[in-house]
Chains A and B, each alone.
Chain A
Amino acid sequence: MNILVDLFVTFAKVGVMTFGGGYAMLPILQREVVDNKGWATEEELMDYFAIGQCTPGIIAVNTATFIGQKCRGTIGGILATLGVVFPSLIIISLLAGVITAFSHLAWVRHAFGGIRICVCVLILNAVVKLYKKAVVDKATLAIFVVVALGSYFSALSPVVFVLLAAAMGIALQVRR
């Protein structure tokens, strides 16, 4: 099979099997990309994943672009990425149509009422996990508090906070 087609199909498979966030994807990538296809070594995959976490964008997409790029350059990177998002496009489009069609029913609205409560708890859990990794001293605590309050009480775009925080990170460390 043409390797470009193979990249698309393999990453579409990874996309279907990834449930939830980027972390759920790692064992699947290990099996498909390292063991089955040999497109990257275990170490390379860990490197891509680590960089994928700390570059802008979705971790799964970043990792796919890396591996595709390594195999077949720019076109490979683009096709691997299109592969990883392809299942989402199909599944969500089907589902969104169904949800919109039934959203006027009382029991559907009640179900989503319950679901949104669950989402609150899931976000709280995600924040607690992130907080433990990110807030390591007084300076990071200050950034966390200022950004949380600033973002909640102002209409400023998150972009502003992201840029300021990156600049603060560099300024604080340089002074040391």
Chain B
Amino acid sequence: MLYLRLFWEFFKTGLFAVGGGMATIPFLYDMAAATGWFTGDDVANMIAVGESTPGPIGVNMATYVGYLTGQGEGGLAGALLGAVIATVGLVTPSILVILIIAAFLKSFRDSRYVQNAFYGLRPASAGLISAAGLSVAISNLFFPDVLAQGFQLAALNWKGWILAAVLWVLTNKVKKTKGLHPILFILAAAVVGVLWSM
């Protein structure tokens, strides 16, 4: 049953995504490939929506996925049910884990095993997000259907490369703009996308 699977997929994400909202991205990609509920492009759209609306980004993405998935199953009522189930699935492991940890807070914090596990978990989390980022980049900075026929210049989305380069400079190099909230860059990119038919 779809809703049960939705709960389970997000329960897994909540249990294994370590390091905040961005860490859920690799799980969303894996979910897209495993279930066919949505595409890689949808994930990129969800990241933008999650980042530009109030609320923690990981929760926003779960709600959005649940809504879209439920909508395919049962219209508006299905969509709302899906949104609730995906979100509850995502936070259930947090609640369980934190309630257990709260019982012996100090020994958890000072445990050498926990600290050592994180020595390995942190680079793995960075690696997982890089791999997901590479998927987003390849499907948006190239035209995947042209690229499938072999590497050629026509497969290059040159407008995308230019916009990406400008945004990278604005978010990393220009003092006046690099501290701005991501939502402003997302809005600017949307305007450029419309004007430039991207």
Contacts and interface: CB of A to CB of B under 8 A. Distances in A.
B147 interface: no
Given A51-B109, A140-B119, A147 B128 contact: yes
Nearest to B114: A54
A25 B54 CA distance: 11
Interface in A51-66: 51-62, 65-66
Nearest to B76: A97
Contact of A114 (B18, B34, B192): B192
B126 A144 contact: yes
Contacts of B124: 143-144, 147, 161-162, 164-166
Taking residues whose C-beta sits less than 8 angstroms from the other chain, chain A's interface range is: 35 or more
A135 B123 contact: yes
Interface string B40-59: 01001101111101111111
Interface of B: 12, 14-22, 24-27, 30, 33-34, 41, 44-45, 47-51, 53-60, 63-64, 67-68, 71, 76, 79-80, 83-84, 87, 90-91, 93-95, 97-99, 101-102, 105, 108-109, 112-137, 140-141, 160, 163-164, 167-168, 171-172, 181-183, 185-186, 188-194, 196-198
A131 interface: yes
A83 to B, nearest CB: 11
B98 A77 contact: yes
Given A119-B136, A130-B126, 7 more contacts: A65-B99, A91-B55, A121-B171, A133-B122, A144-B123, A158-B17, A165-B123
B60 to A, nearest CB: 5
Interface string A85-101: 10111011101110110
Contacts of A84: 56, 59
Contacts of A69: 98-99, 102
A53 B102 contact: no
Given A88-B63, A118-B48, A125-B172, A158 B27 contact: yes
B49 A22 contact: no
Contact of B19 (A53, A65, A124, A170): A53
A10 B90 CA distance: 21
A-B CB proximity, top 7 nearest: A114-B193, A169-B120, A147-B127, A165-B124, A57-B94, A88-B55, A134-B122
Contacts of B51: 20, 119, 122
B98 A55 contact: yes
Contact of B127 (A65, A70, A151, A166): A151
Contacts of B50: 92
Interface SS of chain A: helix
A5 interface: no
A123 interface: yes
B18 A115 contact: no
Interface string A128-159: 00110111000011011111111110010111
A91 B93 CA distance: 23
Given A93-B79, A158-B30, A173-B116, A100 B68 contact: yes
Nearest to A17: B54
Contact of A107 (B55, B135, B194): B194
12 contacts: A47-B109, A70-B102, A88-B63, A89-B63, A91-B60, A93-B67, A106-B197, A116-B41, A121-B185, A157-B30, A162-B128, A165-B123
A97 to B, nearest CB: 7
